[in-house]
Amino acid sequence: MYKIYFEKPVHVHFIGIGGISMSGLAKVLLKEGFTVSGSDNKRSPLTEQLEEAGAAVFYGQKASNIIDGIDVVVYTAAIHADNEEYQAAVKKGLSMLTRAQLLGQLMTNYDIPIAVAGTHGKTTTTSMLTHILLAADTDPTVSVGGILNAIGGNIRVGNSEIFVTEACEYTNSFLEFFPKISIILNIDEDHLDFFKDLEDIRRSFRRFAELLPSDGCLIINGDIERLNGLTDGLSCKVVTYGTGSALDYSAANISHNELGNASFDFIKKGNFMSRITLSVNGEHNVSNALAALAAADLLGIPVCEASEGLKKFRGTKRRFEYKGEVNGITIIDDYAHHPTEIKASLMAARHYPHREIWCVFQPHTFTRTKALFHEFVEALSYTDHIILADIYAARETDTLGISSADIAEELCKTGADAYYLPSFEKIEAFCMEKCKKGDMLITMGAGDVVNIGDSLLEA
């Protein structure tokens, strides 16, 4: 495999440079003195930022983009072997790296690479840890899968030996990484278009844990079922956190303020460390905060600085994000697209000021919807009213005989107030008719459902 050394900058070309992860990696290389070029289908704020930083960006993926002087080509999972630009790179005999392989290579250039993994909560926990590291003046390099205001985007290039990144399990991409500290937040049934079942997913996370060197450390949620199967026999140090008092780190006396934001006693090995106050709501964020606090403690960061950093964290875009108000109706947007995430967000919403809660949910992929159909029905029952938008197909073309109308029908059978509407325009009109002053309207899903709230606020 091609090796990336910061001491020897080369010319790296990105096919699909405008993606949130690819653009972030390109920014790191630009800061380190590499020559960067790349292509994307259309101009965007991210590609414009890259051009301003010195990257050569081509629009449209064509063979002619593979210019002379390129040393290595990086491509995403969305780029297939029949891609014209990809084929040109292969024909020229250029070295090729996937996005995950490049990210793994970047990690080897830092003394303390930290990888945050889990089916849910990666972006939030990475962002929480980033806020802690900034409060402690550690000057980290960070790659996060969302827009974090504290770093002005999705990437921060620092000058210390700490590198923090999300580690996604999809297509086993995190197995290309070289972490010194790894966090496993949770393991749930998801991405069943790639994984066979939950056991297959657990095997992948076990292999991820095994990547850690003997002087490394695994920080893992002690509430994960059959934890020993993931940790037994590891050569590295294992640290646990969660709800159990027997775990290394835990939370006690959890309370919520008038906005639903949580506070809790931070406990280490049975000893009270500090009262932690969050500026985000939901008990799932208490768990995320514990993971970040455990990593901070491992790095020797005083709990007072960690507490200060957590209090400044007010969420990332599309994670229970307050968008505004229209006619006295509070508009919230949330990225939740798995039943576990949906339930956690809807439970958190109960602590937020509201009269009634309306949720517009857009399922993400036919595979996930069919595989977890009954789990979706159960999770969506935790709101007062639910409106289903059409399934966001993403990369899929086969409907598998499943639709959002099926979810609405099943919810109605349970007594839920559920509706299916076939277009965003009809959903917007329905919401303006039905929602009352003091209600909360949550747009939820990993697709383009966010546009509904934006449209209502612009009306």
Q: How many CA atoms lie within 13 A of 312 on its CB side?
A: 19
* d(C-alpha 321, C-alpha 314), whole Å: 9
Residue 402 phi, psi (nearest 5): -120, 150
Contacting residues for 454 by C-beta, under 8 A, at least 6 apart: 323
Give the chain's end-to-end CA distance (angstroms, integer): 53
Active site residues: 122-123, 166
* d(C-alpha 458, C-alpha 364), whole Å: 25
* d(C-alpha 86, C-alpha 69), whole Å: 16
Neighbours of 423 (CB within 10 A): 10
* d(C-alpha 23, C-alpha 46), whole Å: 7
* d(C-alpha 158, C-alpha 143), whole Å: 11
Residue 305 phi, psi (nearest 5): -75, -40
The answer to whether 148 and 315 are in contact (CB under 8 A) is: no
* d(C-alpha 362, C-alpha 388), whole Å: 6
* d(C-alpha 265, C-alpha 255), whole Å: 10
